[in-house]
Structure 1
Amino acid sequence: MNEAIKLGISSCLLGNPVRYDGGHKLDHFIKETLGRYVQFVPVCPEVECGLPVPRESMRLVGDVQNPRLVTTRSGIDHTERMQQWVRQRLDLLADEDLCGFIFKKDSPSSGMWRVKVYNSGGMPSKTGSGLFAAAFSKRFPRIPVEEEGRLHDPKLRENFIENIFALRRWRASLASGKRQGNLVAFHTREKLLLMAHSPNHYRQLGKLVAEGKAKPVDALYDGYEGLFLEALSLKTTPAKNVNVLQHLLGYFKKQLDAAEKQEMLEIISRYRQGHVPLIVPITLINHYVRKYDQSYLAGQTYLNPHPIDLQLRNHT
């Protein structure tokens, strides 16, 4: 866990001048803030498959499920060139230990969702995916992906970054060995985080771990990984967070006096109503964890799932 998280990214988002017009699409949050905690693996499909900078712009045409990549003005078809490069690049990325990928929105190669695909009459429908982005998700379905435009939404940003840190923790657990005890320890640490994302998945995972000795270890770990990442892909909500906060408060029923309990309940209520961000009750809970030496809660990922200066829990 001391090594930086590896994150694939569309190269232009780091300020590299690789776009068709010789420009870039530098995203300051991604490069300068998130970049303090990740190691970027930049990818530019067009340049890496041999196209120049600058170059004629391209678009997707034809069948949404199997579109062609064609230059906008001259109509040159670069589909085969791109697909051949994609196969080779994905093989290389398989060795990179990526925990996520940030794609450039709207790109005919790297857009993940709602990319324009033009029909035979020249009319676009925003229903496609870029050739590289689609192939990446098909090859690596368990690696979290996002587009830089959607990361401007605080809730989507929080969920994506929480996911890449979660995948890094899971892989660190795998590196320590596939043993029942290790899986139980991991599941214990992630309990409250799972509850905040999906109580149903938390129950399924608990059942899987409890019955783990009856399963081949590889099948057990593969099943857990799939359900774990599926759970974390579901966004938290104020209602689910309130449930977890009340659960946390229950651990201090013997330590807190009446005034402290009332203060905590009032803060939780303010969070539920949208008056304060999640970081406010979390900060107070962390204070009580330290004050009363609550070792079990100190190990709960939910209280510190990512670096605090990313300010992912500061939105209301």
Structure 2
Amino acid sequence: MASLSIPVGISACLLGQKVRFDGGHKRSVYCLNILSECFDFKPFCPEVAAGLGTPRQPIRLVGDAADPRALGTRNPDLDATDGLAEHADFVTEHHPELCGYVLMKGSPSCGMERVKVYHPNGMPNEAGSGIFAARLMANNPALPVEEEGRLNDAVLRENFITRVFVYYNWQQEVATDPSVHSIIQFHSRHKYQLMAHSYKGYKELGRYLASDAPQQPLDEVMNHYILTLMTFLKERANRKSHTNVLMHIMGYMKKDLDQDTKQDLLTTIEEYRTRKVHLVVPLTLLKHYLKRHGNDYILSQAYLDPYPHELGLRNYI
């Protein structure tokens, strides 16, 4: 795998650090053995940072599910809420280089969603988000965030890693030397990747860059574009949307391919659409012919190689 070092935050327990309330960890084999080849993981434990020892009294979310407090399970006078939120502010301020974040599922500090919230009398309330996770996401609405447990789902895994690489590309290609031109160049290279996730987003951002962006201050354009892009990329690409992109890409070669080759490509794309093969099959065939017949524009599309192929993500979707 190509040597990469994309900075990504992660709950420290997922890297095997013994920082959980019971002195244990939740080591993630996938993060450590696979993703660490291209992600430079930056571990954080907000509960330790908030001054809670290891081992320690567990905390849980109590009160309004939309704005809960993180209180001790044995001693409700222990309130870690402010410390957890302040650590999210610290990470935001001191680690702007992060291009993604992997959180611990179900944690009252790090859980992204569906974290148990209780009424003060101990009865279950509606689920919410961990205190640290909620503040982190509010501070960084464009940042790709996912729970480690959800990475077991092939579609969610591919979606998250795609978003991390897009955000990394943005930081490298646009944020380091911002201009409307660099944003347009970036958008041009990521058009089909966006189309695979949201045709609406593909049309909307294209119109925005063509009509509104040239009239607005650069910082407003930067903020609007990346937040809108990352929001649309959260939508899960599916076989129908991928098929649409594959057909668009094939269209760039229609004048150069003989009838038999066209039929082979169409058959393979249809096999993908009808769940007979995974995405890697039609893509591999398309890329083979693009080497001979593709132009600079289509060959530059991030959709063709959005991340190192060694990750094998398209072997399962």
Q: Per the shorter chain, which TM-score range?
A: over 0.9
Matched letter for residue 272 of structure 1: R
Q: 3-state SS of the aligned residue for 2:10?
A: strand
Who is 1:93 aligned against?
A: 92
Return closer, same or farther for 1:314/1:53 CA change in 2, 3 Å cut-off.
Answer: same
**Counterparts in 2 of 1:1-316, with a 5 A limit?**
4-79=5-80, 82-84=81-83, 86-96=85-95, 97-125=97-125, 127-211=127-211, 212-316=213-317
Q: 3-state SS of the aligned residue for 2:277?
A: coil
**Mean Cα deviation higher: 45-54 or 160-169:** 45-54
Aligned length: 314
Residues 208, 220 of structure 1: 8 Å contact kept: no
**Mean Cα deviation higher: 43-52 or 145-154:** 43-52
**Mean Cα deviation higher: 287-296 or 228-237:** 287-296
Matched letter for residue 185 of structure 1: Q
Return closer, same or farther for 1:180/1:89 CA change in 2, 3 Å cut-off.
Answer: closer
Q: Return the offset for 1:36.
A: 0.8
Task: Tell me how far apart the structure 2 counterparts of residues 74 and 214 of structure 1 sit (CA, whole Å).
Answer: 57
Q: 3-state SS of the aligned residue for 1:178?
A: coil
Task: Tell me how far apart the structure 1 counterparts of residues 146 and 190 of structure 2 sit (CA, whole Å).
Answer: 23
Percent identical among aligned pairs is 41
Q: Return the offset for 1:215.
A: 2.5
CA RMSD of aligned residues (A): 1.8
Residues 68, 77 of structure 1: 8 Å contact kept: no
Return closer, same or farther for 1:293/1:141 CA change in 2, 3 Å cut-off.
Answer: closer
Matched letter for residue 183 of structure 2: L
Task: Tell me how far apart the structure 2 counterparts of residues 88 and 113 of structure 1 sit (CA, whole Å).
Answer: 19
**Mean Cα deviation higher: 155-164 or 202-211:** 202-211
Residues 100, 143 of structure 2: 8 Å contact kept: yes
Return closer, same or farther for 1:109/1:50 CA change in 2, 3 Å cut-off.
Answer: same
Residues 289, 295 of structure 1: 8 Å contact kept: no
Residues 143-184 of structure 1 show CA distances to partners (whole Å, capped at 9, x for unaligned) of 111111111111011101100111111122224533232222
Residues 14-65 of structure 1 show CA distances to partners (whole Å, capped at 9, x for unaligned) of 1111111111111111111011111111111122222221112221112212
Matched letter for residue 120 of structure 2: S
Task: Tell me how far apart the structure 2 counterparts of residues 126 and 25 of structure 1 sit (CA, whole Å).
Answer: 25
**Structure 1: gaps (5+ residues):** none
Q: Return the offset for 1:10.
A: 0.5
Residues 91-115 of structure 1 show CA distances to partners (whole Å, capped at 9, x for unaligned) of 3433321111111111111111111
Matched letter for residue 140 of structure 2: F
Task: Tell me how far apart the structure 1 counterparts of residues 172 and 35 of structure 2 sit (CA, whole Å).
Answer: 20
Task: Tell me how far apart the structure 1 counterparts of residues 8 and 176 of structure 2 sit (CA, whole Å).
Answer: 22
Task: Tell me how far apart the structure 1 counterparts of residues 148 and 78 of structure 2 sit (CA, whole Å).
Answer: 27
